């Protein structure tokens, strides 16, 4: 049962969720699994693996977020933005992706699961001009850090920062952080039942 596993994983990560939040997280996995058959939204086919590799992997950064307004760039089907939005109802998340089928899925998730703090935008990141800048710019499995900072330089507010969710950290990638940016934190993340490295990099403009 996904709900039993979810309870276990949340407890391992010291995250508390209401019954409604748990229902939404499970509902998201079920919708991802259902839509995946036609839309090919993720290479992961098993709902139990989706729970670990998508939901818990996304939620591992939840307690490290600072601020109210976030944008998830290259969000795909809504990762990490949708799980984070479910667990942080007081914060708002813009989900940005350039593929229409992913945006349609996100909007259906928003409608069916009643998630009121997300909005989906179909755009390439470099073409998106927000009216109000963001406290945090999130990216998961989206290009190199160098490319992320280059394409997203116009998105954070003056005091905002970038949150890059990475697997193993490559020395050459870390060496290529562009001038004008500073890595303030490298946080090792623990994801239940996932025997792979996960890191969160926090980056600010100098």
pLDDT digits (tens, 9 = 90+) for 81-140: 999 999 999 999 999 999 999 999 999 999 999 999 999 999 999 999 999 999 999 999
Peptide bond into 80 cis (omega under 30): yes
Residues in Cβ contact with 130 at an 8 Å cutoff, skipping those fewer than 6 apart? 71, 94, 155
Phi/psi at 31 (nearest 5 deg)? -70, -40
Reported as a single tens digit per residue, the pLDDT across 127-150 is 999 999 999 999 997 778 999 999
74 assigned ligand-binding residue: yes
pLDDT (0 to 100) of residue 170? 87
Residue 125 is given by DSSP the state: G
160 assigned ligand-binding residue: no
79 assigned ligand-binding residue: yes
**Spatial distance between the Cα atoms of 142 and 30, rounded to a whole number of angstroms:** 24
Contact indicator for 136, 67 with CB cutoff of 8 Å: yes
Reported as a single tens digit per residue, the pLDDT across 1-52 is 999 999 999 999 999 999 999 999 999 999 999 999 999 999 999 999 999 9
Q: What is the mean pLDDT of the chain?
A: 96
Contact indicator for 138, 81 with CB cutoff of 8 Å: yes
Q: What is the mean pLDDT of residues 47-69?
A: 98
The answer, yes or no, to whether residue 173 has pLDDT greater than 80, is: yes
167 assigned ligand-binding residue: no
Q: Please name the residue that has the structure tokens 């996904």.
A: 2
132 assigned ligand-binding residue: no
pTM of the entire predicted model: 0.97
């Amino acid at each position: 049962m996904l709900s039993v596993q979810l309870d276990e994983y949340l407890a391992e990560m010291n995250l508390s969720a209401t019954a409604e939040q748990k229902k939404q997280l499970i509902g998201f996995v079920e919708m991802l699994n259902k839509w995946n058959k036609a839309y090919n939204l993720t290479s992961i086919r098993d709902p139990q693996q989706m729970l670990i590799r998508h939901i818990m992997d996304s939620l591992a950064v939840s307690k490290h977020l600072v601020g109210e307004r976030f944008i998830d760039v290259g969000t795909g089907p809504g990762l990490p933005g949708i799980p984070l939005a479910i667990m942080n109802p007081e914060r708002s998340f813009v989900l940005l992706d350039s593929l229409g089928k992913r945006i349609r899925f996100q909007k259906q998730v928003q409608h069916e699961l009643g998630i009121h703090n997300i909005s989906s935008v179909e755009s390439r990141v470099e073409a998106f001009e927000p009216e109000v800048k963001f406290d945090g710019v999130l990216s998961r499995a989206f290009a190199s850090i160098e490319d992320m900072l280059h394409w997203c330089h116009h998105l954070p507010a003056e005091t905002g920062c970038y949150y890059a969710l990475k697997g193993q950290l490559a020395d050459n990638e870390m060496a290529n952080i562009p001038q004008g940016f500073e890595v303030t934190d490298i946080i090792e993340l623990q994801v239940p039942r996932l025997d792979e490295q996960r890191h969160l990099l926090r980056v600010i403009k100098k």
